[in-house]
Amino acid sequence: MRGWILAFAAIAGSVPAAAQANDLPIARGFWINAADQCASATNGYAFDGARWGAVYFYGPGGSMGPAIELEAITQTRPVAGGFTYMQFGGYDGVGYFYVKSLGPDRMMLRTGAPGPEGIQVMDDTLVGCGMGVLSAKMQTALRRAAPALPVK
């Protein structure tokens, strides 16, 4: 996931973002890899209704951070396969982020990033975590980074 976080930062950070209404098929909240546990999550993605991005702790055992990389979503549009494309700032280049709802607390994140052999595509199934089940340090990071997240 760390490689995709860096790809996200490179793509999203290339153009300044301006907030604008968007329509994503997923709930506002904190999303982690389906193989991880909410209570011990040290990295994931926050969606506060207007911004999307990574919130994570790094270093040995997640002892450093948090790093907060939220970007305003300036445009959304449907794309093939039932996904919705998220645009950050004015960027509409080679890399991309698509989301697709798989139910109330499940989604698919499809990330496409340029690589040496063309576009590398990665699909990750993510699950939503209620704020109350996250660690105290993750709750603190999210309250600071995205105060509009639901408390559920």
Domain residue ranges in the chain: 2-145
Name residue, tokens 């604008």: 20
Q: Does residue 145 register a pLDDT over 90? A: yes
Which tops the pLDDT comparison, 83 or 17? Answer: 83
- For the domain 2-145, what is the CATH code? 2.40.128
What's the pTM? 0.83
pLDDT per position as a tens digit, 47-104: 999 999 999 999 998 899 999 999 999 999 999 999 999 998 876 677 899 999 999 9
Note the pLDDT of residue 21: 46
Note the pLDDT of residue 5: 45
Q: Does residue 39 register a pLDDT over 80? A: yes
Q: Is the separation of the CB atoms in 71 and 9 below 8 Å?
A: no
Note the pLDDT of residue 93: 72
Rg of the chain over all Cα atoms, to the nearest angstrom: 15
Q: Which amino acid, 7?
A: A
